[in-house]
Chain A
């Protein structure tokens, strides 16, 4: 057996291993598993298709529903209608993908190989979060702009809206930002819970449960509490106009959502450092 090991060793790169190497490795991990790649493609296609489809549906049924609730709601805030549906579907995909990205490392045992290669555990988690957020930011902005451009073109005859209208560009960019932050948010919960089903339950409960709570409370300190929940706060960034009675501004809400994510990532990093894989 010829091991041919000696020649190579003389050409090692002796520079310190930095965060860049860890991020590169995380990028390879994400792109090299087929299910992850396809989920990301499906996320883009399905979100844009749903936004465009629902716009086409409402236009087709416009006269029949004249005077009714839906067209009035669309007329009041076309941006919210165009972005809301696609984002609602997209956020589910992002939640699940964010969780699986880390829980699958535990279920397949890859976490052990990963931690041998990256003994600094916090940097492993941060690199994963950073790479995933970057991929999501690009894809989600594509989704947001594509949804808006297609949706507004379809709605044009009934409820004209353009990127030049006040708040609209911020809302479109905001939809992408929201989904990009939701990725590491879900990832952090996955890293804390460590089991796919449990973590998905927690994330979906947090994200969709707050919508239910929002309808239950009216005013008082409870309203502030609900407004500060991750999804309630984060979703403000993709609404072009403040809703009546809205307690936080778009950027305040987004700031609170980012705060949630940072705190959860810190908890996840601390746990990853203390527990055996």
Chain B
């Protein structure tokens, strides 16, 4: 259980984290979502006692990190920035951490095996690949078999195999009843891993809800309808209580060629596909397309962060839709 109350961090005139309050419950993966520079890492570092909060308090199992009697047995952390001396072997890195925490030496071998680094235990950190380095970080976090795990951008730079490994590990750890708090700026990554989301933008809390709720929010099932007789259809649908607008063009990479054409395309909310189809058939209106649109987590996220401004800080990763949107905005 992690509890953050009124946590604030100012750097001069800049407020990186602004009166943040939320709690992270055990037994599920909680995603910590926000654009780059939203204050995720600073928040995590404050929870871990590395950065001093300007105001507010963060506790793990009811106690601030610095006051935990056996910190590693309570919380394990993977930081975003590298924190291993390149000249030290994986084994020795874990050994000094274990010694400082009065953990048995045997535990070092165990966690190395757990993350699949048993064979490279004697290799110096500079000789480890990015993925191996990340696994070493996970091994350090697992040293004390902690009830709480904080992982800052754990999948950054990993290959698909590594990403899958981390996803499964997080789910498994949460399944054992642990608290797993994982940050990411990749919304789609969170959609597949996290059951609960804490969303921040510009240091402020934007949402603290189940992932499914964020997905549902604002998307209430709009339906895209394409018809050569759009104007008449719109009138009929409106008279049935639906809200009808002109559908926005689909992104250019869509496979549905018809969807690119906005002539006669309507965006309908308030009626389902079946009802729209029935009404069109009754009025003998020809339909070329009828499909429900669900907002992706990314859309929901964009909606949330659009209010808090600063779209320029959003990462432009593999999804073109984002660029599309900011162009239209």
Contact = CB atoms under 8 A, between A and B. Distances in A.
A216 interface: no
B114 A4 contact: yes
A113 B98 CA distance: 11
A8 B81 contact: no
Nearest to A21: B102
Interface residues of A, number: 43
B73 A108 contact: no
Interface residues of B, number: 48
What is the interface of chain A mostly: helix, strand, loop, or mixed? helix
A85 to B, nearest CB: 31
Contacts of A6: 145
Nearest to B178: A5
Nearest to A273: B52
A118 B83 contact: no
Interface string B50-70: 111000000000000110111
A217 B282 CA distance: 109
A119 B51 contact: no
A109 interface: yes
Interface stretch (A11-19, A65-73, A203-211, A246-254): A11-19
A1 B172 contact: yes
B45 A276 contact: yes
Contacts of B70: 12, 14, 17
A8 B108 CA distance: 11
A115 B66 CA distance: 10
A68 to B, nearest CB: 48
Nearest to A127: B100
Given A17-B102, A24-B99, A29-B96, A117 B72 contact: yes
Contacts of B100: 17, 21-22, 24-25, 114, 117-118
A113 B77 CA distance: 9
Most buried by A among B65, B84, B99: B99
A8 B107 CA distance: 8
A136 B99 CA distance: 22
Given A12-B103, A112-B79, A28 B84 contact: no
A110 B83 contact: yes
Contacts of B84: 108-110, 113
B72 A3 contact: no
Contacts of B169: 1
B81 A32 contact: no
B49 interface: yes
Contacts of B50: 112, 115-116, 276-277
A112 B69 contact: no
Interface in B12-45: 45
Contacts of A15: 102
A40 to B, nearest CB: 14
A117 B97 contact: yes
A25 B65 contact: no
Given A117-B100, A276-B51, 13 more contacts: A5-B145, A8-B110, A13-B102, A13-B104, A17-B102, A29-B88, A32-B96, A35-B87, A105-B85, A110-B83, A113-B97, A116-B72, A119-B65
The 8 A-B residue pairs with the shortest CB-CB distance, nearest first, are A32-B92, A25-B100, A117-B100, A28-B96, A109-B83, A112-B83, A113-B83, A25-B99
13 contacts: A1-B169, A3-B172, A9-B145, A15-B102, A16-B69, A21-B100, A25-B99, A33-B88, A34-B87, A110-B83, A110-B88, A114-B100, A117-B100
